Amino acid sequence: MIPAHIEKALAEVELYFNDVSVALVSGEPLALATASAALRQAAIDFSEFLQRQTPMDLKSQSFKSRLKRLADGMAAQRESLIRRTVLVERGLNAIVPATLAPTYAQVAGPYGSLGKQTGAFKFLAA
């Protein structure tokens, strides 16, 4: 049996976790950002809360299983976010091909690449 104060804190984190899951499915970026920020803060608060608890309070098997399920779910959410990022990046590259060009020059060797010629210094020899 989980103590009531720990149950309340865990239920709050699970609620924010579910909000992030719903936002991921909906694909709404503002909702996802808001839900993610709320989950991040709830996780920080929950971590601080658990540090103040006695080890006896945290020995419940149901608490451990719910916490494990929550951690596994966050790993799945992270993977979904990575997939969504790749999908958005590919869509952006298809719509705006200039985003495919690298920001910096490609490395030509162990010491980097040569600088681009500006054409300001021209030397003609006869």
**For the segment 34-89, what is each residue's pLDDT rounded down to a tens digit?**
999 999 999 999 999 999 988 888 888 888 999 999 999 999 999 998 998 888 88
**Residue 45's Cα: distance from chain center in Å?**
18
* pLDDT confidence of residue 12: 95
In terms of DSSP H, where are the helices of the chain? 4-26, 29-51, 61-95
d(CA 117, CA 126): 22
* pLDDT confidence of residue 89: 87
pTM over the 0.75 mark: no
> Helices 4-26 and 29-51, interaxial angle, to 10°?
160
All residues at 6 or more sequence positions from 36 whose CB lies less than 8 Å from its CB, including other chains: 20, 23
